[in-house]
Amino acid sequence: MESSLITCDVCGCHKREVNHWFTSKRNPGRSKITFDTANAIYRSKSGVKHICGIQCLNKLLSQWAMRAIEAEIKAAAAKKSEGNDESERV
């Protein structure tokens, strides 16, 4: 059965017929993540994560949000540092 080949990218459990799965895809270069109900179209696409249920979806979303927040903090700190470097030169 093909569904036994699908594994949750968050917790590692295997898909069974009665599971209610989701897929997610991060859009490189953008602060965006897309979630959808799982279907056969997404099984082989690269960059698509398989998620076995709401609990793992929430975990993945939380991880993504933390990385996005950290990236924004680093970008703001770098921008502030550049501003301080320029003011010291004047």
**pLDDT score of 87:** 56
**pLDDT score of 15:** 82
In the predicted structure, residue 90 carries a pLDDT above the cut 60: no
Whether 80 contacts 32, CB under 8 Å? no
What value, to the nearest 5°, has the Cα angle with vertex 27 and ends 22 and 31? 105
pLDDT tens per residue across span 5-60 = 788 999 999 887 767 889 888 877 667 888 888 775 556 567 788 999 999 999 99
What value, to the nearest 5°, has the Cα angle with vertex 28 and ends 27 and 32? 40
DSSP string, 54-79: HHHHHHHHHHHHHHHHHHHHHHHHHH
The domain segmentation of the chain, as residue ranges, is: 2-84
Q: Which residue has the higher pLDDT, 53 or 3?
A: 53
**pLDDT score of 1:** 37
